[in-house]
Amino acid sequence: MNANDFAGRVRGREKLVGYWVTLDSPAAAERIGRLGYDYVVLDAQHGLIGYQGLMTGLLAIDAGAAIGPRPSVGLVRVEANDPTPIGRALDAGATGVIVPLVDSADDVARAVRAAKYPPVGVRSFGPMRASLRIGPVPADSNDATVVLAMIETPFGLQNVAEICATPGLDGVYVGPSDLSLALGARFPGDPEVNGPFEEAVELIARTAREAGVAAGIHTFDGESAKKRLAQGYTFATVASDLSHLEAIAAAHLETARSE
């Protein structure tokens, strides 16, 4: 699956499953990339990954995808809605970007402009590694580059219809931890906001469907991802490498010490 194929699947609202990477470990990213996930996200906002790690992580995902049963593409959650991190992630070879803390249609328009070359946007031309995979013709890159906006703030939820209707946006992506805090949770996963949280999750999926854009969400395990896809989400990301590493290590320790 090349970048054009992935962009078409996102825009066609096909059901996709991805994985989340927070650790700067190319060998681990390569192994994840060969498992058959549709996409693998490198987290440059909260993950433990610098720019060099971002580039080698994307290289590793491509290497793993080349020998896996179902090719994965690399996405990046950028650190901010700014042309510099967006452009650098794409130059490093990301097929698309997930943009955090989107509050409005204006925020989306800024993200789209940052991710696209003129005359559509303002991205500076210097694709470096990306030219080996997307382009190097700017119009081809514009067609193949996916832009996803995170819905995770009070204003983002309030303005979700306008956000979904913004030209150039391929989809929205729910950040459940921040969204729950935006709804008054004391901590992510606070059961006291389960009702409002589920209402918000349903609203976002419905609004995206009505606007004809993709709807994605971060989940904490495969069962949760399956539930959200059945609910109407078109792509779902599973957990993260760090959380899985800790959970598996804890489980083995408990087993080893059990009577």
- As annotated, the active-site residues are 46
Q: Is cis: bond before 127, omega within 30 of 0?
A: no
Report CA 16 to chain centroid distance, whole Å: 11
Nearest to 8 by CA among 146, 208, 112: 146
H-state helical runs in 68-103: 83-91
Cα–Cα nearest to 216, from 204, 200, 203: 204
- From 50, 59, 164, 146, select the one nearest 107 (Cα to Cα): 164
Rounded CA gap, 159 and 34, in Å?
38
CB 233 within 8 A of CB 205: yes
Q: Which of 160, 175, 150 is nearest to 208 (CA)?
A: 160
- Residues listed for the chain: 259
